[in-house]
Amino acid sequence: MSRPNRPLLTALKDEIGSLEADLRQMVVLRWQLARLEVQTAVGQIKRLSTVLLIFAVMVLSAVPILAVAAAWSLAAGEGGAISFVQWLLIFGLGLLIGGAAGGYLAWRRFRRSFVGIEQTLEELREDGVWLREWVGGEKALAEQEADQGA
């Protein structure tokens, strides 16, 4: 039986073409992953800024209320159950504490869920390991063939 005439490096050419297609697909997929992660991160940052803005308004609205309450309490020193000043203090402190606590909790939630482009970096690390193994695998295969031939 005779073999058909095939160029000597056809298999290598096919391997290189396959590797090129794999690398191109890998780059396209990594780009898509990075873009999606950035879009998600931007959405999370927008939500955080909206929530922090709301709580900042609450805190800032408590400041004049507390100032009026302090001024009135210094001006009029009369006793009683719960005076107008005490109600102002209660509401002002409630807004102040609620706004500060809400902002803090929003910040903690953001820090817990924000991943940035963590998955993209992990995928790139895995790709680097794969490429090193692929290059190292060729060397190991050559060494194995050399050992078998000897």
Residue spans of the domains in the chain: they are 19-121
Cβ 98 vs Cβ 54: under 8 Å: no
pLDDT given at position 138: 61
Cβ 26 vs Cβ 127: under 8 Å: yes
- pLDDT values of the chain reduced to their tens digit, one per residue, 150 residues: 455 566 667 777 888 888 888 888 988 888 898 888 889 889 999 999 999 999 999 988 888 888 787 777 766 665 556 677 777 788 888 888 988 999 899 989 888 887 777 777 788 888 888 777 877 766 655 666 666 665
Q: How far is CA 65 from CA 68, 74, 81, 119, 138, in A?
A: 5, 14, 20, 47, 75
pLDDT given at position 2: 53
| Distance, CA of 136 to CA of 133 (rounded, Å) | 5
Length reported for the chain: 150
Q: What is the pTM of this model?
A: 0.52
Cβ 19 vs Cβ 109: under 8 Å: no
Q: Give 102: exposed, middle or buried? Use CB within 10 Å, 0-12, 13-18, 19+.
A: middle
Closest to 131 measured CA to CA, from 23, 33, 31: 23
